[in-house]
């Protein structure tokens, strides 16, 4: 039993008065979030996620809050936390970001979307699918998607991965992994394959003959051998996208 000492000179209290002790700030109860393809997570990370949800709930109305990205991978090798706020009302992303970072002291990336934009992104953009394939959400979500390729969006995403060819020696392992994952996700999407983290990593290992994607993250690749395969994938993917854009323009003319 803890002992609590009250000062002898206390205004408003007489000897023998009954008092109630309670925390100055009461934490709002947070329901256990929903896990999507997250098999296990460190308890400290789960507490951080609950804290993020609590902070956002106190600052903005929302329909759902989704945590994704490398933060959900095993261990603590992450740079920031990806947070997606779903809702029809516009939110102040910068204010929410600063509020979270001041409280938990971890860099945060905030994305605010309404449901219509999210569904459109999931239907046309492989990176949206990759983002939500492994996540933890405040509420359960189910989206019925119509598969539609937007070649112009894919072209913009592919352009990011060219950086690996041009600046291989300047990039660290995590940056290389992000760019490799990007191009492989686009390649699978063009083949009308379902995109998720596990399938993309499996394809990376297969294409580049790796035992683990950690070989990329730890920056222990054989540069010439790796870049030769990477350039070939880039060229083939670029050619398919350009052909898709050309065909789309031709249909409009017809």
What tens digit of pLDDT does each residue of 54-80 get? Answer: 999 999 999 999 999 889 988 887 889
pLDDT of residue 77: 78
Task: Give 121's pLDDT tier (boundaries 50, 70, 90).
Answer: confident
pLDDT of residue 168: 95
pLDDT of residue 251: 73
Whether 151 and 177 have beta carbons less than 8 Å apart is answered as no
**Residue ranges per structural domain of the chain:** 34-137, 152-243
Whether 205 and 198 have beta carbons less than 8 Å apart is answered as no
Task: Give 26's pLDDT tier (boundaries 50, 70, 90).
Answer: very low
3-state helix, strand, coil in the chain (%, to 5): 50, 10, 40
Reported residue count of the chain is: 254
Q: What is the CATH number of domain 34-137?
A: 3.30.460.10
Q: In the chain, what percentage of residues exceed pLDDT 90?
A: 62
pLDDT of residue 122: 86
Q: Which of 163, 65, 171, 80 is nearest to 118 (CA)?
A: 65
Q: Kindly report, residue by residue over 137-171, the tens digit of the pLDDT.
A: 999 988 777 778 899 999 999 999 999 999 999 99
Q: Which of 113, 131, 146, 119 is nearest to 197 (CA)?
A: 131
- The β-bridge partners of 36 are 135
Helix (H) or strand (E) holding 166: helix 151-166
Residues 6+ apart with CB under 8 A from 133: 36, 37, 195, 196, 197, 198
Structure pTM? 0.77
Task: Give 253's pLDDT tier (boundaries 50, 70, 90).
Answer: low
């Amino acid at each position: 039993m803890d002992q609590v000492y009250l000062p002898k000179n206390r205004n408003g209290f007489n000897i023998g008065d009954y008092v109630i002790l309670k925390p100055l700030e009461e934490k709002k109860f947070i329901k256990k979030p929903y896990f999507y393809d997250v098999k296990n997570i460190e308890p400290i990370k789960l507490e951080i996620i609950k804290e993020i949800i609590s902070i956002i709930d106190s600052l903005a109305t929302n329909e759902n809050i989704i945590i994704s990205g490398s933060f959900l991978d095993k261990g603590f090798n992450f740079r920031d936390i990806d947070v997606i706020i779903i809702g029809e009302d516009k939110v102040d992303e910068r204010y929410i970001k600063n509020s979270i970072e001041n409280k938990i002291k971890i860099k945060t990336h905030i994305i605010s979307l309404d449901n219509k934009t999210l569904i459109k992104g999931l239907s046309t953009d492989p990176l949206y699918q990759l983002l939500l394939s492994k996540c933890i959400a405040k509420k359960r979500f189910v989206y019925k998607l119509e598969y539609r390729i937007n070649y112009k969006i894919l072209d913009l995403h592919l352009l990011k991965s060219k950086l690996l060819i041009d600046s291989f020696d300047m990039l660290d392992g995590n940056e290389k992994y992000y760019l490799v994952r990007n191009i492989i996700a686009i390649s699978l999407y063009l083949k009308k394959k379902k995109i998720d983290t596990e399938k993309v990593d499996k394809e990376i290992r297969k294409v580049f003959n790796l035992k683990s994607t950690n070989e990329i993250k730890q920056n222990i690749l054989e540069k010439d051998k790796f870049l030769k395969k990477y350039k070939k994938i880039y060229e083939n993917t670029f050619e398919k996208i350009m052909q898709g854009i050309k065909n789309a323009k031709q249909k409009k003319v017809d």
